[in-house]
Structure 1
């Protein structure tokens, strides 16, 4: 039976007890996740050692895909990257219930022995829910065609086209002739009349008093 198409959201949270591929120092693990023909790579957990933390989320479009394949690698600067292990995640529970939290054992590529596990969180959204916006928090799609060139979105009136501005009237008449210059300045005042002769000197001083009376 065909499965309901939709979108798988897969979060790679952390690993525990992974096999250490480095003889000196701590290894630098990362994951390569494949669903169908879609492949993503996590960031490198520098010095993550046996217990790396990623907390990265990826989205996959799915039709009939019902599992994800994960290869855990150790990044090397000098030589080729080493394979730490691999695991396969079932998407069936998430596709049925909408979500799933799962710890998946990491197996050695050749001996198939388990070396730790990786914690995943999985969510599934059916395509119909995505299309019609019935998933909580999903953005609602706008109905109707998008406006093309020259079209105005619904709800707004067409823009008014303003007419050509009327030309202004003739410029005002120039002002009249400048006013006549003022007349000749008034005649200068006459010469001041000289003052009269200085006043006559005062008269002679009074005569001295007579001789004092006889004793």
Structure 2
């Protein structure tokens, strides 16, 4: 598998490069900086397997509520459950570090 991750914050979409042969333990180590529109309190994450001759396959996803601590200046390092064909929260986990800087 050659997985990559798409993150949607409001109407903005960010994509990591694929982790060639990342299989079930991909590592992206990516920093995504995004404007957080007023009222947005969550973001969506999808993991795709890049295919050469067919459409890329969505293999996992998560709807992540932004931790309240980030709005108080905390940096949150946490693991989030992924959903997919096996069911809600049963596709594995992803480690995300989130923070918020007011502008």
TM-score, normalization by structure 1: 0.44
Give CA deviations for 1:41-65 in whole Å, capped at 9, x if unaligned. 0010000000000001111111221
Which one is further off, 74-83 or 105-114? 105-114
Alpha-carbon displacement from aligned partner over 1:166-210 (angstroms, at most 9, x marks no partner): xxxxxxxxxxxxxxxxxxxxxxxxxxxxxxxxxxxxxxxxxxxxx
RMSD, matched Cα: 1.6
Q: Give the 3 Å change call, closer, same or farther, for CA 113–66 of structure 1 in structure 2.
A: closer
CA distance in 2, matches of 1:91, 1:125: 13
Secondary structure, aligned partner of 2:72? helix
| Residues 86, 109 of structure 1: 8 Å contact kept | no
Query: Does 1:36 find its partner at 2:10?
Result: yes
- Gap regions ≥5 residues in structure 1: 1-26, 128-215
Q: Which runs of 5+ in 2 are unaligned?
A: none
Aligned position for 1:103: 79
Of the two, which has the highest radius of gyration? 1
CA distance in 1, matches of 2:79, 2:3: 17
Distance 1:45 1:37 in 2: 25
Tell me how far 1:97 sits from its aligned partner.
4.0
The CA distance in 1 between the partners of 2:85 and 2:41, in whole Å, is 22
Who is 1:54 aligned against?
Answer: 28
Q: How many residues align?
A: 101
Return the TM-score normalized by structure 2.
0.89
Question: For 1:96 and 1:35, how far apart are their aligned partners in 2?
Answer: 20
- 1:13 aligns with none
TM-superposed deviation, 1:98: 2.9
Check whether the contact 1:83–1:109 (CA below 8 A) recurs between aligned residues.
no
- Which of structure 1's runs of 4+ aligned residues deviate more than 4 A? none
Q: 1:109 to 1:69 in 2, by over 3 A?
A: farther
Q: Is the 8 A contact 1:98 1:125 kept in 2?
A: no
